[in-house]
Amino acid sequence: MPFSSLGFSPALLPVLSRAVAEMAYLAPTAVQAAAIPAILQGRDIVASAQTGSGKTAAFALPLLHRLAESPIGAKRRIRGLVLVPTRELAAQVGEAIVSLAKYLPQRMKVAVVFGGVSINPQMMNLRGGADIVVATPGRLIDLIDHNALTLDAVETLVLDEADRLLDLGFGEELGRILQLLPAQRQNLFFSATFPPAIEALSASMLQDPLRIEAQAAPQADPDIAQRAIEVDPSRRTQLLRHLVQTEKWSRVLVFVATKHAAEIVADKLRKADIEAEPFHGELSQGKRSQVLLDFKEKRVQVVVATDVAARGLDIVQLPVVVNYDLPRSSSDYTHRIGRTGRAGESGMAISFVSAATQAHFRLIEKRQRLSVPREQVAGFEPVEVLQPNAADPLSVGGIKGKRPSKKDKLREAAGQLKPAQGT
């Protein structure tokens, strides 16, 4: 199916097709083929779209088409609003929209706003208005409070990675933003997963939506070799250093659970003469941008990141991703390892698995329909093993290490009290 069959007007089709070709879309992806005609018809949509499915162009092309069909006034009013969860995704989406709009007969002003940087340049940029705003919710609220923009003219609202918006705690901000939007508008809702909170939000926002289930385009289907290495938690950093050095990885993105872990692991790697930097949400935007630039330019060999980097980052030819800490969910696992094996390249994803996390990794395998053989690295063989619950031999409810859990302590205390109660 060519782009010419999706419903674009003959006047705009040549310029949009030229921009699309420059972005290497030879034909519409599944989500583009399903979403673009419906959006052009004015319908609300709710789409399940993974990273690499082409979803940005799926909403950006019809949004630009709609704006280009009507003249822009002397003062631009925000007619398209795209909400995203992270700064990096905001920058990426904004860049894509600008690229798709470059040949339109009318110049479109696209403003990208996010926190972590000074608000003043963003306020200055919004003087004279904008046609499309790509924003993280918190900074958008800040700009509204500073009277830098209004949302009363928004015709199309896009929630990109809606599940991540709620995961990062933007529910309250979303509620306030929705109250400021016109009641009559088009809503485009993209989410990788649909937990109950997301289903409830979509039901409250959308009018007779078209539901779309779209997988990544065939050319984006990743070629990722997956490995699971058994190792004790206390030896993960040593193993990571060993693998970086012996396997001669040019770059590796390492995922950890907390910003503290990101700082500690990166520091230990630097002490081993490995160029490493932490990457987490509490870094300034300037620092985060610099780390990514250094990583892309291969001045930094290892970036140790929290899940803020799991979505929205596109590092060309990233060979390896390591799950130092396992992700909380199978969908997060998909997004993490999806940072490698992009654009037809092959990649490798390694997960460190301990005795205490074996059950969790098996659950990820089950939900992802995977079977990843366990392996061990000479010199780093694990010594910790699963310990049955001595107080309750039939217990199978959890994975236990050497330290007793609160439940174990309560059972032990109860057992110590029984003789006293019987006297």
Per-residue pLDDT in tens (0 to 9) along the chain, 423 residues: 788 889 998 989 988 988 888 877 778 888 899 999 999 999 999 998 766 678 899 999 999 999 998 877 667 899 999 999 988 889 889 999 999 999 998 899 999 999 888 999 999 999 989 999 999 999 999 999 999 999 999 999 999 988 888 877 788 889 899 999 999 999 999 987 787 888 888 888 888 899 998 654 444 456 889 999 999 999 999 999 999 999 999 999 999 999 999 999 999 999 999 999 999 878 887 788 888 889 988 999 999 999 875 555 667 789 999 999 999 888 889 888 888 876 667 889 999 999 999 999 999 999 888 899 999 999 999 998 766 554 443 333 333 344 454 444 444 444 443 333 333
Q: Are 371 and 350 in contact (CB under 8 A)?
A: no
110-113 β-sheet, strand order: 110-113, 132-135, 80-83, 156-159, 186-191, 45-49, 210-214
pTM: 0.62
Query: What's the pLDDT at 71?
Result: 78
Strands (E) located in 37-108: 45-49, 80-83
Distance CA 173, CA 136 (A): 10
Distance CA 12, CA 103 (A): 9
Residue in this structure with the two tokens 């280009």, named with its chain if needed: 68
Domain annotation for the chain: domains and CATH numbers: 3-215 (3.40.50.300), 222-375 (3.40.50.300)
Query: What's the pLDDT at 26?
Result: 76
Largest CA distance in the chain: 94
250 beta partners: none
Distance CA 187, CA 173 (A): 17
Burial 92-103 (b: 16+ CB within 10 A, else e): bbbebbbbbbee
Taking Cα atoms as reference points, which of 223, 224, 252, 258 lies closest to residue 239?
A: 252
